[in-house]
Structure 1
């Protein structure tokens, strides 16, 4: 069964508002026969008259009034939908899906979102806690628009990864352990450790740091939630290696941070699809670029 055209409904509404086929033709910039054809097609589709002519005035029938009520709603919804899409195309509104680790979400992303809200308040960023590999998979599958990932990464076909930040990795140690001014692999390997598990790039980086000194310590606990790790460090349960993210101050007086010898760094990149991004996604990328190091 053929659907009713919005153009035909708009013609009907304008005729009813103006009370004239001729005036409707002028307002819609259509030929009078076209206006008549639109009404005839609607009446054929409905199976009943929609308009009556009385004393040179065109008025809707009772059935026409019912259809006009619905037609006005449909046309208003269609106009609203087009306006929303137009605003999204222009970057005034939009939804951007972003994946990142808990640390990046807690300590880095809020700064970018604060700037974004000030300059582009209509953009909604939906954040998911994901590993780097899961973020890249989401980009490939089309379920994400941006991923904050630990480097190095193999982007794969259709994706690009650009360097974003280079943050020092520090030792977080219970204060009563009285750590040295700079923590070495030898000193740390003799203590209980709470580290990220082997699925993370941070785990691979820290394992390489120990391995370069010929050490292969086993973690007492493996977690991927950095704030939970810090809580356990504060309780004296072990030490950890974590990146210094943003300008966050010490969270707990029971914890001290120490630089490493040799130094160690966590590198982050921004991953997105190589195809042309929507304006909303571009604005989020610009906000993230403000935090580039």
Structure 2
């Protein structure tokens, strides 16, 4: 026997607590010869006696007492580990890794996390700022559990994507530009633009919107942080096209928010791995599902 079995250590601890082989056998629901065999195997592994019998009393040797102290800690740690795993299996605790854009993290995810905190306070959601492509790649690698991704996307083998939200894309314009009630590609194309990075799905959608009118404007600056873009709009640096994510207040009087003509939408989906997911992940998916549009 090269390794020390936790079952053997547990037998040793119960014998020491009961000071009796017979009582330990009854408590562990084992036959007396099995109890003796467990001790014999431990002593063979250690190479020294672990217990002595004096006047019917079983007591640990000095070496046995040293092993007992360690054994109690090991068994307590093992019990705690099993309890933690059990709670995670039951969905009472757990860690869920989620990737999303900055806009979704800032304006959509907090609502789901608030619901989760009330219903399942033991679940820890670790949020990462990721593009849709990066989220899908991490899901395939197994280093992410849920991704909030812009649609359309090709899920690929082993992943599934469920449509989640359909939010209108709006024009955010410096208020002193006096924009029309509905902003068209022709009106916006001739003005300074602050748009999402060309690698994002939002950039592709807005480029197609301009292209329907035969327009191909270049952005004055490209960013992937929507709140930073809105701050630049508020400063009069340019206009932008962004999804309306929840009820978000703009700087008073500095930004005019207008719908588009023709209308434009940003669609989001929830990506995860196919098959049965852990209970903690299922609870997060359920909380996100309540925000479905």
1:219 pairs with 2:227: no
Partner of 1:123: 123
Query: How many pairs align?
Result: 293
Instruction: Return the TM-score normalized by structure 1.
Output: 0.99
Runs of 4+ in 1 over 6 A off after TM superposition: none
CA distance in 1, matches of 2:215, 2:253: 30
SS at match of 1:45: helix
Whole-angstrom CA distance in 2 between matches of 1:267 and 1:145: 20
The 5 A counterparts of 1:1-293 are: 2-293=2-293
| RMSD after superposition | 0.8
**Which secondary structure state, in structure 2, belongs to the residue aligned with residue 68 of structure 1?**
helix
Residues 184 and 260, structure 1, Cα contact 8 Å, conserved in 2: yes
Report deviation, 1:252. 4.5
8 Å CA contact 2:172, 2:230 repeated in 1: yes
CA distance in 2, matches of 1:37, 1:227: 69
TM, length-normalised to structure 2: 0.99
Structure 1 portions without partners, runs of 5+? none
Distance apart, 1:160 and its partner CA: 0.5
1:176 and 1:131 map into 2 onto residues whose CA distance is: 33
Q: Alpha-carbon deviation of 1:197?
A: 1.4
CA distance in 1, matches of 2:155, 2:174: 38
CA contact (8 A) 1:166 1:268 kept: yes
Distance across 1 between alignment mates of 2:69 and 2:111: 48
Is the CA contact (8 Å cut-off) linking 2:170 and 2:260 kept in structure 1? yes
Deviation per residue, 1:140-179 (Å, 9 max, x gap): 0000000000000000001010100000000000011010
Summarize deviations over 1:76-96 as a string: whole Å, max 9, x none.
000000000000000000000
Tell me, what secondary structure is at the counterpart of 1:171? strand
Tell whether the 8 Å contact from 1:50 to 1:61 is kept in structure 2 after alignment: yes
Structure-2 separation of matches of 1:47 and 1:156: 57
Matches of 1:246 and 1:281, distance apart in 2: 24
Report deviation, 1:253: 2.8
- Is the CA contact 2:234–2:251 (under 8 Å) kept in the aligned structure 1? no
Point out where structure 2 has 5 or more consecutive residues left out of the alignment: none
Shift of 1:262: 0.6
Give per-residue Cα distances to partners, 1:88-121, cap 9 Å, x unaligned. 0000000000000000000000000000000000
Instruction: Check the 8 A contact 1:148/1:271 in 2, yes or no.
Output: yes
Instruction: Note if contact 1:234-1:252 (Cα within 8 Å) is conserved in structure 2.
Output: no
